[in-house]
Amino acid sequence: MYNAKAYTAASETSPLAPATIPRRDPTEHDLQIEVLFCGICHSDLHSVRNEWRSHAPTVYPIVPGHEIVGRVTRVGSAVKKYKSGDLAAVGVMVDSDGTCSNCKAGLEQFCPNMVLTFNSPDKHLGGVTYGGYSDSIVVDERFILRIPSNLDLAGAAPLLCAGITTYSPMRHCGVSKGKKVGVVGLGGLGHMAVKFAHAFGAHVVVFTTSPNKKEDALRLGADEVVVSRNTDEMKKHAGSFDFILDTVSADHDIDAYLNLLGRDGNVTLVGAPPTPLPVSAFSLITGRRSLSGSAIGGLAETQEMLDFCGEHKITSDVEVIPIQKANEAYERLLKSDVKYRFSIDMGSLRTE
Ligand code: NAP
Ligand code: ZN
């Protein structure tokens, strides 16, 4: 065991503050990674503030962070695919049983024994796992992803959650040329969804509550932008969509989006508002529409997404911040004031 530096929150009302945390020495299959960049996902904020208490209560202290890129500093004796000095990435998961039907299908995110990067029981040290707001992390090589060498590292970090969470459901639902696709919420997930849907050749419509994001939405790849608070603008699209990806982090009216679907259209929820969202039966019955959900993506698909990003030169639009600005960044996230992902330069923790 060794001590790592990290930013932790001590309770649901405490700010993030510097602390020392234990990390295991790499076992034979582990890599130790020096964290270079870590994205700030809205899930970090939900967890730090215990907003998902009824579904996944937070254990304190918490070290959030699951959009990690870094450099390998130590390798276990049985590690074959990586060596010291290699770039490595870690997303939302760090372990799974490898034997269940989900793991066998490459859908480790649905494994009943999946271990999240933070706030999951830690079978090595006891307590819970600690995430990427830290100077280093130790992870089994099975859960390490490769970053294409042509991508900017600060902008690549958010691909590990925001990227795969939007890529996977759009692949699953056949987003492609000739499809009309909606993206609700232009935040960290939403702006990645726009980039992917555009790259897949779909006609992309962004729904935003922030009129000042219109220009950006078009630049990111949207064909049309609708300010969702304008009911007349919404009505124009009634019954016309094949697929809508809903990335909103707070309470909102999903019926309004179900009613924009055509026959057999689908709304997939990836946003995870803490409180239940009411749905009218008629919004679904009419036109045989469906509402579903999706969580990140499996390891193989995450690597596929990273390789796709390498080929198409796709990264997240990031505002790079030092870790000392993390609390301020959370407040700005709540005001939808980020273009479009904060990426923490973890060098700022090493010099603290
Ligand atoms: P984010 O950057 O804060 O983006 C959320 C966007 O939702 C905002 O930028 C805003 O877009 C819109 N929004 C916020 N409050 C709203 C409200 N009251 N009504 C309508 N729209 C609102 O967050 P994120 O990191 O993209 O995460 C989004 C959600 O996905 C979070 O709940 C997060 O926990 C969840 N998530 C799920 C998965 C998964 O595997 N399913 C993975 C990662 C994250 P506009 O300004 O354009 O309206
Ligand atoms: Zn996330």
**Ordered DSSP codes for 34-71:** EEEEEEE-HHHHHHHTTTTTTTSPPPSSB-----EEEE
**Residues 118/93, Cβ–Cβ less than 8 Å:** no
Per the listing, tokens 């990690």 go with 68
Q: Is the CB of 42 inside a 6 Å radius of any atom of ligand 1?
A: yes
Question: Which protein residue's CA is at the shortest distance from atom 22 of ligand 1?
Answer: 248
Cis check for the bond before 330: say yes or no (omega within 30 of 0): no
What span, in angstroms and rounded, lies between the C-alpha atoms of 8 and 174? Answer: 40
Whether 267 has a pLDDT exceeding 90, the answer reads yes
Please name the residue whose Cα sits nearest to atom 40 of ligand 1.
Answer: 295
Give residue 176's pLDDT band: very low, low, confident or very high (50, 70, 90). Answer: very high
- Counting ligands in written order, which one lies closest to the CA of residue 271? 1
Summarised one tens digit per residue, pLDDT across range 249-259 is 999 999 999 99
Give the mean pLDDT of the chain.
98
Q: What is the pLDDT of residue 276?
A: 94
- Give 133 Cα–ligand 1 centroid separation in angstroms: 20
178-193 pLDDT, tens digit per residue, is 999 999 999 999 999 9
CB distance 296 to ligand 1 below 6 Å: yes
Confidence of residue 212 (pLDDT cuts 50, 70, 90): very high
139 has a pLDDT exceeding 90: yes
Model confidence at 348, pLDDT cuts 50, 70, 90, reads very high
Instruction: Report percent pLDDT > 90 for the chain.
Output: 99
Contact status, residue 186 vs residue 213, Cβ threshold 8 Å: yes
Closest alpha carbon to 343 in 86, 116, 130, 133:
133
Task: Give pLDDT, residue 95.
Answer: 98
Nearest residue to 24 (alpha-carbon basis) of 92, 119, 109, 126? 126
Q: Examine the pLDDT at 124 and tell me if it is beyond 90.
A: yes
Q: For position 351, what pLDDT does the model report?
A: 87
What's the pLDDT band for 92 if we cut at 50, 70, 90? very high
Is the CA virtual torsion 186, 191, 196, 200 positive or negative? positive
Start-to-end C-alpha separation, the chain? 22
Place of tokens 């995870």: 272
Closest-CA residue, ligand 1 atom 12, reads 185
Question: Given the CA of residue 41, which atom of ligand 1 is nearest to it?
Answer: 25
Interval 319-331 mean pLDDT: 98
**What pLDDT band is residue 352 in, cutting at 50, 70 and 90?**
confident
CA 300 vs CA 3, 25, 39, 218: distances in Å? 32, 27, 21, 31
Question: Ligand 1: which of 249, 251, 318, 343 to mutate, most ligand atoms within 8 Å of CB?
Answer: 249
In contact, 28 and 51? CB cutoff 8 Å: no
Mean pLDDT (whole number) for 289-300? 98
- Which candidate, 56, 73, 163, places its Cα nearest to that of 115? 56
The rounded distance, in Å, linking the Cα atoms of 50 and 349 is 24
**pLDDT at residue 227 in the model:** 97
The number of the ligand nearest the C-alpha atom of 46 reads: 1
The CB of 209 under 6 Å from ligand 1? The reply is yes
The number of beta carbons lying within 10 Å of the beta carbon of residue 3 is: 12
Q: Which CB contacts under 8 angstroms, 24+ apart, belong to 170-176? A: 170/196, 170/197, 170/200, 170/243, 170/245, 171/301, 172/294, 173/243, 173/266, 173/268, 174/243, 175/200, 175/202, 175/243, 176/200, 176/201, 176/202
Q: Rounded to two decimals, what is the model's pTM?
A: 0.98
Q: How far, in Å, CA of 136 to CA of 328, rounded?
A: 23
CA 89–ligand 1 middle distance (angstroms):
23
What's the confidence (pLDDT) of residue 86? 98
